[in-house]
Structure 1
C-alpha cells in the first residue's frame, strides 16, 4: 500500500515524492504561481523554499487598460515567464493557479509553447464559505 501525502491541495503517493524529474525530486521543483483576476494576470516563479526568482504581468509586457484582460495578453505572459525561466536554467516546474477565468489556461499554454515542462497543475483558488459580516441596518426616519 502507498501512503498519501498532502501538499497544499495536491495529493501525492509516496512513490510520487521520490520520482526524479531531471536532477530534482518533486518537492524540490520550482513553482510557478499564476494569479488571475478579472482585469490582469500575474505570474511569478519561486524556488521550493518560496523565494521569488522572477515575476511578470500583463502590464509589464506592454498591455494597458482593457487589453490586459485578454487571452492574448495572458499567453504572452506565459511565453515571457517561460523564456525567463529558461535563462535561469529551469526546465521542469510545478504550476499553482489562483483565480478563475480563461486566462489561466492561456498562460499555461504560453508556458508550454516556450518550452517549459509542466509536471503538475494545482488549483489553489481560495473558497469562501459563509456570508461574512451582516449588512448594516437601514436607517429609519
Structure 2
C-alpha cells in the first residue's frame, strides 16, 4: 500500500559517470608541482577514522584523504581495510606527482596505522623513515573514581 514511487529513466552515460565517482573522484586532479622529490606522509589513526596527509619536505600540505572521504561510513571507517584503501589513494597521487622518497609520521593508536604503512610499501614507494609521534601522558589527568557496587 505505501507511497508510489516514480522512477525516471537516466541516460546510460550519466550512470557511468556516477559509478566512476568512487576512489577516482577523491583522488581528483592533483595540483602538485613536479619539482617535489621528497615528501612527508602523516598518518593519523584514531579509533573512528584514518586521516592520511601528504606534505612536502617543508611541511606544506599537498594532498589529504580520509576513510570517510573515499566512501566508508560509520564503523567501517576505522577498519584496517579502509586505512589501506586511503593509503592506496594517496600512493596514486605520490606516483603521479613524481615524489621519489617519503618519510612516514604515524600518530594515534587506531587499527589502521599498520595497514596504511604496509600499503605504501606494497605500492613500491621508497620509505626513508617511519616515526611514531603518538602523544603519551606522563601520568596526566587523574582518572575517575572506580564504581563500588
TM-score between both structures, scaled by the size of structure 2:
0.67
Aligned residues of 1:61 and 1:77 also touching (Cα < 8 A): yes
- In structure 2, the CA distance between the partners of 1:117 and 1:134, relative to structure 1 (3 Å rule), is closer
Q: Alpha-carbon deviation of 1:74? A: 0.6
Aligned residues of 2:107 and 2:133 also touching (Cα < 8 A): yes
In 2, Cα distance between equivalents of 1:120 and 1:49: 16
Listed as ranges, the gaps of 5+ residues in structure 2 are: 1-35, 145-149
Aligned residues of 1:94 and 1:119 also touching (Cα < 8 A): yes
What CA RMSD, in Å, does the superposition of the two structures yield over aligned residues?
2.0
Candidates 103, 109, 125, aligned match of 1:100: 109
Name the residue aligned to 1:77. Answer: 86
Q: Alpha-carbon deviation of 1:134? A: 8.6
In the alignment of these two chains, the number of paired residues is: 109
SS in structure 1 at match of 2:109: coil
In 1, Cα distance between equivalents of 2:143 and 2:120: 43
Q: Alpha-carbon deviation of 1:39? A: 0.7
Name the residue aligned to 1:114. Answer: 123
Name the residue aligned to 1:57. Answer: 66
The structure having more radius of gyration, on CA atoms, is 2
Aligned residues of 2:42 and 2:53 also touching (Cα < 8 A): yes
In 2, Cα distance between equivalents of 1:97 and 1:106: 12
Runs of 4+ in 1 over 2 A off after TM superposition: 130-135
Aligned residues of 1:82 and 1:115 also touching (Cα < 8 A): no
In 2, Cα distance between equivalents of 1:130 and 1:71: 30
Output aligned runs, 1:1-141, within 5 Å.
Answer: 29-132=38-141
